[in-house]
């Protein structure tokens, strides 16, 4: 299903689409009456041979109608919006889980709640990039912030839009009433990678959520192996994450190729094979000298030789 706010799949999105349809349904007759009478009067009372155009004024009943009807309409819309906004802004009541979401140029990172089911071997909590997995029917509170510039979080089928502002935490809630995959996108222009700052929310049936979580934790533990942790940490702290995706980590960049299974690939960047420690180090150190014109910059001098070695070692575990 496309990202579309008028195809609501949860109570949050339903509240806004309900207001939209009421306004739309009232606006159509208003448009028809106003434009219809304008056109009708223009034709009927126009100056023409055998008919003289005249001025009319002072019709109490008409004036009362076109004052009272719009007033009542505007007041009703205000009441309706107020009512639905209370529902939309009611972030804290009945929350089933709270997820911390951080936007950065140009990816989203989701930190799962501080609960046993999301704990990794090393005691840290599961963090993923781009994709957030939630249980169906659960009210999920999203605590939003940003690392650099203003981003905006919007998954139209599930709920309203909210800005992610550096230095502040804003919040919203989402709920999916059906299992499925819901797409979203950063909605505030935030630089050249803005169009690639995608959001995917996967809603799992309640009874399958724990299974999903244990698989995600197993994957994250593999990526978090203490023997290659130095490389992982360097990778995640450097510019790599802005361009590359490694599923199960916060790295969710879309500018460069996905590296989730880099160690199983036949070559690096389509030109350098096999994928081994030596070639990975060569590539990370100075990709432009191997593949001229490539977007990926040289990292020799930006990262130390040790750091590049560590990263290569970690990438080799991504099978």
**Which listed range, 34-42, 116-124, 189-197, 215-223, lies at the site for ligand CUA (CB under 6 A)?**
189-197
Q: Assess 265 for contact with ligand CUA (CB under 6 A).
A: no
Closest CA to 96 of 41, 43, 142: 142
What mask of x and - would describe binding to ligand CUA in positions 85 to 114, judged by CB under 6 A? Answer: ------------------x--x--------
For 81, the token pair is 């919006």
Instruction: Select the residue interacting with ligand CUA from 84, 151, 247, 282 (CB under 6 A).
Output: 151
Smallest distance from ligand CUA to CB 39, Å: 44
Instruction: Select the residue interacting with ligand CUA from 147, 183, 194, 229 (CB under 6 A).
Output: 194
For 302, the token pair is 């930006």
Instruction: Identify the three-state secondary structure at position 252.
Output: strand
When the beta carbons of 125 and 185 are compared against ligand CUA, the nearer one is: 185
**Which listed range, 50-58, 185-193, 293-301, 311-319, lies at the site for ligand CUA (CB under 6 A)?**
185-193
129-158 burial: b if 16+ Cβ within 10 Å, else e: bbbbbbbbbbbbbbbbbbeebebbbbbbbb
For residue 224, give Cα distances in angstroms to 81, 111, 231, 239.
47, 15, 10, 19
How many residues touch ligand CUA under the rule CB under 6 A: the total is: 9
Please give the full DSSP string across 185-241, using - where no structure is assigned: E--S--STTGGG-EEEEEEEPHHHHHHHHHHHHHHHHHHT-GGGHHHHHHHHHSTHH
Instruction: Select the residue interacting with ligand CUA from 142, 158, 186, 315 (CB under 6 A).
Output: 186
As a whole number of angstroms, the distance between CA 84 and CA 89 comes to 9
Q: Assess 161 for contact with ligand CUA (CB under 6 A).
A: no
When the beta carbons of 138 and 149 are compared against ligand CUA, the nearer one is: 149
Smallest distance from ligand CUA to CB 197, Å: 4
As a whole number of angstroms, the distance between CA 25 and CA 34 comes to 15
Q: Assess 140 for contact with ligand CUA (CB under 6 A).
A: no
Task: Give residues in contact with ligand CUA (CB under 6 A).
Answer: 103, 106, 151, 186, 188-190, 194, 197
């Amino acid at each position: 299903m496309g990202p579309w706010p008028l195809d609501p799949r949860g109570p949050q999105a339903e509240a806004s689409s309900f207001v939209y349809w009421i306004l739309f349904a009232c606006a159509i007759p208003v448009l028809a009456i106003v434009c219809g009478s304008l056109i009708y009067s223009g034709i009927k009372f126009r100056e023409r041979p055998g008919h003289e155009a005249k001025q009319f004024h002072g019709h109490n009943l008409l004036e009362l109608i076109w004052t009272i009807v719009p007033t009542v309409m505007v007041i009703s819309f205000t009441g309706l919006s107020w009512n639905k906004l209370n529902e939309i802004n009611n972030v804290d009541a009945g929350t089933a889980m709270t997820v911390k979401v951080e936007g950065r140029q140009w990816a989203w990172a989701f930190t799962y709640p501080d609960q046993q089911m999301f704990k990794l071997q090393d005691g840290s909590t599961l963090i993923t990039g781009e994709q957030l997995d939630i249980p169906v029917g659960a009210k999920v509170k999203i605590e939003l912030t940003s690392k650099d510039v203003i981003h905006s979080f919007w998954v139209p089928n599930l709920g309203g839009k909210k800005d992610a502002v550096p230095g502040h935490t804003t919040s919203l809630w989402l709920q999916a009433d059906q299992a499925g995959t819901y797409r979203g996108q950063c909605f505030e222009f935030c630089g050249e990678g803005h169009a690639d700052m995608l959001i995917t929310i996967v809603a799992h049936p309640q009874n399958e959520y724990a299974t999903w979580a244990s698989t995600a934790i197993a994957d994250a533990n593999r990526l978090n192996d203490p023997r290659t942790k130095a490389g992982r940490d360097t990778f995640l702290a450097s510019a790599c994450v802005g361009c590359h995706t490694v599923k199960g980590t916060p790295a969710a960049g879309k500018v460069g190729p996905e590296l989730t299974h880099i160690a199983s690939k036949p070559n690096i960047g389509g030109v350098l094979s096999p994928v081994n420690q030596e070639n990975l180090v060569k590539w990370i150190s100075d990709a432009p000298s191997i593949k001229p014109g490539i977007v990926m910059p040289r990292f020799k001098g930006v990262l130390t030789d040790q750091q590049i070695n560590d990263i290569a070692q970690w990438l080799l575990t991504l099978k």
